[in-house]
Amino acid sequence: MRLIMMVLMSFIMLACEPRQKTAKEVQAEKAQAQADSIKFTENAEIENIKKRLELTSNPGLTGFIILLNEMGQPVMYTSVKGKVTSGSKRLTAPDHYTCDGGVCNYRPAPSDEGTYGSSDSYIYFWTMSGQYIQWNGKYLYSEKPFRLDTKPLVVDINLKNVIDQHK
């Protein structure tokens, strides 16, 4: 009986011993410890987003835009009053949910102008002279004037005055 007890105790003691960790487990623990040790005091991505929001939320902002054709050639260069806005932005929710007696239904909501459906992708903005422009191509935008080597097909006649004010 004593022998059986000793054998049982040996098995129990062996079962309680921690198993050896694999090299992969050790490596994973070290990597996790390294990741946990990093403390963010500053983050360039967050700073970039904050700066962009601060800049573009100013309704009095004067910006500059180059509208490009498919080949990347400048088509138009003009100033922008406020900011460039995506045509897909809306002030209302795109979906409408109604619930009646525990049954919920979904349906698309009308757009801000009261229409349904979608349109092609585009941006829109107003020039400093108040002209509305909508564009469905590529563009470059900045709060500072650009220096162009290639002359665009269209240049806003008020642009020189706006650029001179930014010097």
Q: How big is the chain by its Cα radius of gyration, in Å?
A: 31
Rounded Cα–Cα distance for residues 16 and 30 (Å): 24
Reported as a pLDDT band with limits 50, 70 and 90, residue 142 is very high
What single DSSP character describes residue 93? -
For residue 146, being part of any structural domain is answered with yes
Q: Provide φ and ψ at 160, rounded to 5°.
A: -60, -40
Reported as a pLDDT band with limits 50, 70 and 90, residue 136 is very high
For residue 41, being part of any structural domain is answered with no
Mean pLDDT for 79-96 is 81
Geometric angle at alpha carbon 74, from 86 and 61, rounded to 5°: 45
For residue 16, being part of any structural domain is answered with no
The number of distinct structural domains making up the chain is 1
Rounded Cα–Cα distance for residues 21 and 26 (Å): 6
Mean pLDDT for 108-120 is 70
For residue 11, being part of any structural domain is answered with no
Q: Which residues contact 121 (CB under 8 A, 6 or more apart)?
A: 86, 87, 88, 136
Range of the structural domain that residue 159 is part of: 62-165
For residue 25, being part of any structural domain is answered with no
Rounded Cα–Cα distance for residues 87 and 133 (Å): 11
Per DSSP (E only), the strands in 46-150 are 62-68, 74-86, 95-100, 103-108, 123-126, 132-135, 138-142
For residue 17, being part of any structural domain is answered with no
Q: For residue range 11-68, what is the model confidence (pLDDT) as tens digits?
A: 555 555 566 778 878 788 887 888 777 776 788 888 888 888 888 888 888 999 999 9
For residue 148, being part of any structural domain is answered with yes
User: What per-residue confidence (pLDDT) applies to 54?
Assistant: 87
For residue 126, being part of any structural domain is answered with yes
